[in-house]
Amino acid sequence: ALPNVPGSSKAFSTIPGKAFDFEKATLRIDGNDLASAPVVDSESHVKLTATLTAGSHRLAPFFTASTGDELGAYYLIVEPAP
């Protein structure tokens, strides 16, 4: 958390954050779980690879918490295979 700034209320940036307790990341495409990988505390990202057919797909990447709850990924970068 950062130091407070002048104002009538406490700045959002002064409130300490709470880390998520994710165990794995999963790539769900068209309703099928195609790839999963463990979430490692020391890493800043998880890389998953899947082969897709040409055309439109429903992409639903998510994280699984230690409680078993699923939380959708905030963003995803898709790159073509080399």
Q: Where are the domains of the chain?
A: 19-72
pLDDT at 3: 75
- pLDDT at position 7 over 90: no
Statement: the pTM of the whole predicted model exceeds 0.85: no
Does residue 24 contact residue 1 with C-beta atoms inside 8 Å? no
- What is the Cα Rg of the chain in Å? 17
Query: Which residues, other chains included, contact 73 with Cβ-Cβ below 8 Å and sequence gap of 6+?
Result: 25, 61, 62, 63
15-26 pLDDT per residue, tens: 788 888 899 999
Cβ neighbour number for residue 46 with a 10 Å cutoff:
19
pLDDT at 1: 67
Rounded distance, CA 4 to CA 75, Å?
A: 29
43-78 pLDDT per residue, tens: 888 999 998 898 999 999 999 999 999 999 888 888
